[in-house]
Structure 1
């Protein structure tokens, strides 16, 4: 873990509730894909957020923060970033970072858990070029999948990458999976012993995935996600 000062260079609304913040640093800020940082609000008040960019992007840190005024835990971080244009962060935290493996990679992201998935996806495409990668991103509606077009385009250019968007409420022209995101994975994979699974989203989702997927043959050693430290 490294403590660094960062400059806020842009704040962009991705949806009504999700904001992208780009941070700039001139200090050493090494981390592994899938790790997170903590925004230091006070000596005993440090708030974690996944890092969305790959580690090979030097000097830049990308965050996707889901926050509304009735969620002060995250919203206060947005306010601080907007008002001061600077933050103090601790970077390089978490053990759910990407591993090298010959197994097929499956990533399940719920909502802004996509930021964790994005870092792992981009890093694996760059460094494990022959590995098959499957990203399942679940959200309430299509509008909540704020990088849908970019991921569809990436899947067309990367032969080893498959993107599977999942929504709970579908428009009439929706052509992807409908329902819960982990159900989509179970419908596509029969032998879970052959995959490595990376998970980011609500604790409730992670708890269900751990119970269901390990019961169906996924080894615990092939299950990665920061939530599992507490489950």
Structure 2
């Protein structure tokens, strides 16, 4: 059962990457970032600012799936609204569930602009699909349990299937608050290749980030 959930999640993540890139080929920006000022997606649809990033503070993150649906890339309708504050997400309302846990974890699109010790990544201005805990993610949640999206073992298994098996290099990156599921943060080492998984630590990862703007 566990292997099946991981395989299905990997399959969906890859499919969403393909759809997002196809969307960008048509509209020149990733889902959520596209302006709807001309009504291309219909009235009342989320409006992006076309700055090349998908930002939750601008409501582009919860609007991503609404734009994908209105453009005909996904069948399920999402309303693009914010839940529990700016950029908040809720399964079935503005984001889809993952096969890992259909009541707890969701797929979101996002980008970041500035370095932050929370993100164990080497680059901060890229766009990714992330698996997060929902519905509390980005709205009134508290560390560490509310943001825990998956066990370290699950994150490791997905990285080994999709990428290089390392938490801070390649396309799939561990999303860990401080050093909960990894031994050190990239910002501490200056070298992402030195970051290693902590599979027996008993702490969860807050999710994984899968970059969709790099090969």
TM-score, reference length from structure 1:
0.27
Structure with higher strand content: 1
| Max Rg structure | 1
TM-score, reference length from structure 2:
0.28
